[in-house]
Every structure is written in C-alpha cells, then in structure tokens.
Amino acid sequence: MIEDLRTLVECESPSASLPAVAASADVVASLGARLTGAEPERLVVDGRTHLRWRFGPPGVLLLGHHDTVWPVGSLVDHPWRVVDGRAYGPGCFDMKAGLVQLFHALAQLDSLDGITVLVTGDEELGAPTSRPLLHEEAARASAAFVLEASADGGALKTARKGVAWYEVRVTGRAAHAGLEPWTGVNAAVELAHQVLAIQALDRGPAGATVTPTLAAAGTTANTVPGTASVHVDARVPTAAEARRVDDGLAALRPVLAGARVEVVPGPRHPPFEPSSSAALYALACSVADRLGLGPLTSAHVGGASDGNIVAGDGTPTLDGLGAVGAGAHAPGEHVVVDAMPARAALLAGLVEAVRDDSSAWTNRAAVDRAGRP
C-alpha cells in the first residue's frame, strides 16, 4: 500500500493542468486494473479525465478523486517520504491514500458484483465536468461511500455544509475625483454598504457562514469608481439555511441614489445533512466492532466534497472513509500509514454488509430520493 501511495503521489495532478490530470488518470487506472482485474472506462469531459469501473448491476457506489490543489513542481519542496510512521507528499492525505485504500479493499472481496467506482478529476474545482456523472451514479446507487480523508483522529464525516458562491456587482457612475466628484456615484462606497448587509446574513458557526471575500472597485486612483464587486462564500448546514441566504442576497438594495446592485449566483454544492449518513454510520460502527477495529467517531465539517452531490440527490452517503492523517492542502500534509490496512478492511466490510442486505438499502435510497425536490 505504501508503494502504491508513493506511485500516486509522485505523479503530480493539479486540477489546473489537464495533461497532468490525464497522466494521473493513467496511473490510477493501472492501480485499479491490477487490484480488480478490470480496466476502467475513461470518461473525458472538456479535456478532463475521469475513471469509472462498473461491476454488474447498480448497488454500492465508491467515490474518490485524483486531482489535487498542489501545482506541478511541489515535490521539490515537499518530497515523498515516510518518517516515523507518517507518509508525506502533495495530495497524499487529500486524497490519494483514499484511492489506495479503496482498491486494496476491493482486492479483499470474493466478488465485485454490484459495485461501481467513480474517480473524478475535478473535485477540487467543485466538480464542473464530473457533476453529471455524479448525478448519474447517485441515481443508480443504493449507498455511497466517499474515500475523502477522515476528520481529526480518523473520524468519519457524517455531515458537511453545503457551499454556495456568489458575486455581488455594483454599478455607479464614474467621475473625476478632483474636478467634480459630486457628479459621480461612488460604487466603492455603495459596495461598502452592501458588504455590511452581506455580513449581517452570517449565522456561524452553528448556522450558515456568509463571508465577503475577494473585492474590487474602480479603475484609477483619481477616478470615482464606476463599478465594484465582491465575491461571497456561503457555507450552509441545511437546505433551509441555503434558502435563507439566497433570499437575503436577493433582497439587497442600493443605498446611494443612482447606484445599481446585481447578485450573480455561482457554483454550489447542496448540504450533506446528518440524516443522509445516520444509517450508514450505525452500520459502520457495527462493522468496525465485528472486525475489532475499535470504536468509531464522527464529525460534521465545513468543507464540501462530491459526497454533498450524491447525498443531495437522496443517496444514503458516508464520507471520510479515506486516510487517517492531517494537513490537507498545506505543508506537512501526511498520512498515518499503519491505519491504511484497517481503513481498507472497514470499507470492504461495509460493502459486504450493504450487499448482504441489498434490498433494504435499495428501498431506503428510493424513499430518500422520492423526498427530494
């Protein structure tokens, strides 16, 4: 498993580089083919490579991604190494070790019937090209297991906040800042009013966090700004909170006479609510106890994953089944190597448990999906 992880880590795969993602897909395909005996479908969408293995009829969906946030060349400053039981390297924790565990788990099973594996190449970008594939597989699956990295201490992720991005654009009227500023409508001043109104929608940490982020105004230092804008990052724990934030932003109105305000929605992930994972987490605890893997813990987290999308479609979903470690997206990112076999065994046990009671999980997924808008 360590050697397989090294192979994946040393094939750098930043989301921004299509050639790097394509090369990484070849390496992941080779790993999966070796451990399952089957070649994947290569699904290239807008030049970006995703991989899918389908074994028999629909049933259990296993999800992962092979793109990372680390640019090509990161291995120079953050080389692959194993020190004191920890493996280091760009993307090892998020989430190349999860892919290694996934395929080694499949190698433990007597049969792969009823399993689908989808490994995407744009998760770190918010799934712009893989989203239709995720919806397609969610509609077929009775349960989904996401091999994203665990939360602190190996905790499984039983809920994730949804993510919604917006851009608030302000139009004023430009004027010379020295000769006749009073003839202008200052878009920067209007934006300041709007930023305060946006911040007032925040209910964090228990509710939605609504954060104004990247802001810009004006063209030159001696001109009354005629335009301005601010990006907004919203993290929502429930569908109700998502609607509240949507409604609040839609209600923004200009304060200065002559100014205009426009709200442009951007990409979003639905919230992954605890109800989507409750039954699968209980099953995981039972499997872990039977296998002697110790008591499991769970966590609700703010970051989104592909799990949000499939859970949002009504598929029972459990996330955070990947590596135990820390430091995602940061120097010092690492994986606890001794935990990798146990996590693979837990995944194999979960897949078998769902397949042993396939009709119950199929019915549960159908009910959950029927309740979605």
Locate 89 and state its tokens. Answer: 């390297």
C-beta separation of 208 from 236 below 8 A: yes
Catalytic residue among 94, 123, 273, 319: 123
Residue with tokens 């993510």: 163
- The C-alpha atoms of residue 223 and residue 139 are separated, in whole angstroms, by 54
- Kindly name the residue from 67, 94, 122, 333 that is annotated as catalytic: 67
Distance in angstroms (rounded) separating the CA atoms of residues 40 and 117: 9
Cα separation, 1 vs 87, in Å, equals 11
The pairing of strands 334-336 and 325-326 is antiparallel
CB count in 10 Å sphere of residue 297: 14
Mark whether 67 is an active-site residue. yes
Contact, 321 vs 309, CB < 8 A? Answer: no
356 is catalytic: no
Tokens of 329: 């997206």
Q: What is the rounded CA–CA span in Å between residue 299 and residue 33? A: 33
Which among 108, 163, 116 is positioned nearest to 144, based on CA atoms?
Answer: 116
- Residue 282 one-letter amino acid: A
Q: Cα separations (Å) of 26 from 54, 84, 316, 351? A: 17, 31, 30, 26
- Tallying the residues shown for the chain, one arrives at 373
User: Which amino acids are annotated catalytic?
Assistant: 67, 123
